[in-house]
Amino acid sequence: MTTRYDAIIVGAGQAGPPLAGRLTAAGQTVAVIERKLVGGTCVNYGCIPTKTLVASAHAAHLARRGAEYGVGTGPVTVDMAKVKARKDGIVSGDRGGVEGWLQGMDGCTLIRGHARFTGARTLSVDGGDEIEADRIFLNVGGRAVVPDIPGLSEVDYLTNVGILDLDTVPEHLVIIGGSYIGLEFAQMYRRFGAEVSVVERGPRLASREDDDVCAAIKEILEADGIAVHLGSNDIRVSRDGSGVAVATRADGPVVRGSHLLVAVGRQPNTDDLGLQVAGVDTDARGYVVVDDELRTSVEHIWAMGDCNGRGAFTHTSYNDFEIVAANLLDDEPRRVSDRIPTYALYIDPPLGRAGLTEAQVRRSGRPALVGKRPMTRVGRAVEKGETQGFMKVLVDAETHRILGAAILGVGGDEVVHCILDLMSADAPYTTMTHTVHIHPTVSELVPTMLEGLRPLS
């Protein structure tokens, strides 16, 4: 038996439900298939739970610093069970909201189970009856990479999913991987009271960033008491009593801990969908190959979100939905290549990024200007007692358009948007320097920084 819909959406992450909303509003029947939890990574394992934990960790950190502000707090303790319960409540509420939205959507059918292609236009769910549609949209997300590290299979370890279930603070958390996910967990658990060690194979933390940003991130984390082991090019894992031992390199230290978190990257959930049956091409890493409008190698199939390799963030996934909906329903040509790369690292203080890094600008060979300002020279940061980090902006010397920015400092994840919006408007940087900003804010120093541009040598 085959049930027919106008469209099938596989995966209920950030792009799937809003697309279902647009399609059903246009009078189409839609099946949304989800094999695990509605809401995808963001709601269940990513943005929502981790930023909830970051907020609890920040509260503990400020409480310990109370005397600096003239506030007496006494001994600070962290009840991890209550921290987890708060996180679980927020996640449950968000997931329930998305579920209710889909279930109340006229013309939408939410199907629970694992979908696999049985043909170019047909899928089965858990091997049962087939469903069919002329348009199919993949929004299947990604998962943690489990690296081939000697000894890893012989010990208990956590990924970004399992660590969210901890209801006690580890005695010593060892993290393999010094990039965005690992660093966020490193700082939050240090502030919860754990000893924390980060073991990174490369020579820098957050290696995608510029050298000065990487160095400042390391300084911030070490100031919190986190041990950082860079250049760990021979990582090996073994049992150590009830815990783990992580060898860093042949002549390097062995880090012993009670818990191990592996955070070395992500991979797409595309290996068990039967894509080859439908003729959908993937690249060497398993990402679905898409064009600038997110069509796959099969004209009637699209791929959105983490599974297409065009952005591994909630905001890029949602923008994927917007691009698909604009082209299909609004006769509005929108393309992936139109968007400006932007993201944040949610350590404290956070890093907000937009556009090109300094290294990318240098490689481009274009004449450029650079402005930089330490947070110690930002009045609002001084008033708040949060002066770690700096702001940096890069400008095309000929067109006066902003090429990129890094805001590593208090409010950096919000401040970067005034730069991002200016870039999106394709306006010269002088538009901002001629704009009155509110005092006292962090953002008001961005125009000041732009007034002090110098050639990028």
Q: Cα separation of 109 and 88, whole Å? A: 27
Q: Cα separation of 314 and 311, whole Å? A: 9
Q: Who's near 59: CB < 8 A, 6+ residues apart?
A: none
Residue 411 sits in a domain whose CATH number is 3.30.390.30
- Whether 11 and 138 share a structural domain: yes
Task: Look at strands 254-257 and 368-374 and give their pairing.
Answer: unpaired
Q: Cα separation of 4 and 16, whole Å? A: 18
DSSP 8-state class, residue 244: E
- Whether 222 and 97 share a structural domain: no
The helix (run of H) or strand (run of E) holding residue 40 is helix 40-44
- Whether 97 and 170 share a structural domain: no
Q: Which of 212, 232, 264 is the last residue of a domain?
A: 264
Catalytically active residues are 439
Q: Cα separation of 176 and 449, whole Å? A: 37
The helix (run of H) or strand (run of E) holding residue 23 is helix 16-25
Whole-number pLDDT of residue 251 = 86
- Whether 8 and 136 share a structural domain: yes
**What's the structural domain count of the chain?**
3
The helix (run of H) or strand (run of E) holding residue 322 is helix 314-329
Other CB atoms within 10 Å distance of the CB of residue 154: 11
CA neighbor of 287 nearest in space, from 314, 302, 269: 269
Q: Which of 230, 264, 298 is the last residue of a domain?
A: 264
Whole-number pLDDT of residue 73 = 87
Which structural domain, as residue segments, surrounds residue 350?
A: 343-455
- Whether 383 and 317 share a structural domain: no
DSSP 8-state class, residue 287: P
Q: What's at 94, amino acid-wise?
A: D
Does residue 82 contact residue 4 with C-beta atoms inside 8 Å?
no
Whole-number pLDDT of residue 183 = 98
- Whether 307 and 279 share a structural domain: yes
- Whether 9 and 136 share a structural domain: yes
- Whether 260 and 271 share a structural domain: no
- Whether 260 and 401 share a structural domain: no
- Averages of pLDDT over runs of 10 residues in the chain (457 residues) are 95 97 98 96 96 98 96 94 98 97 97 97 95 98 96 97 98 98 98 98 97 98 98 96 95 95 97 97 97 98 97 95 98 97 98 98 97 98 98 98 98 98 97 96 97 96
- Whether 255 and 272 share a structural domain: no
- Whether 138 and 159 share a structural domain: no
Q: Which of 297, 313, 338 is the last residue of a domain?
A: 338
- Whether 220 and 207 share a structural domain: yes
Q: Who's near 62: CB < 8 A, 6+ residues apart?
A: none
Residue 55 sits in a domain whose CATH number is 3.50.50.60
Question: What is the distance of C-alpha 375 from the center of its chain?
Answer: 24
Q: Cα separation of 69 and 76, whole Å? A: 16
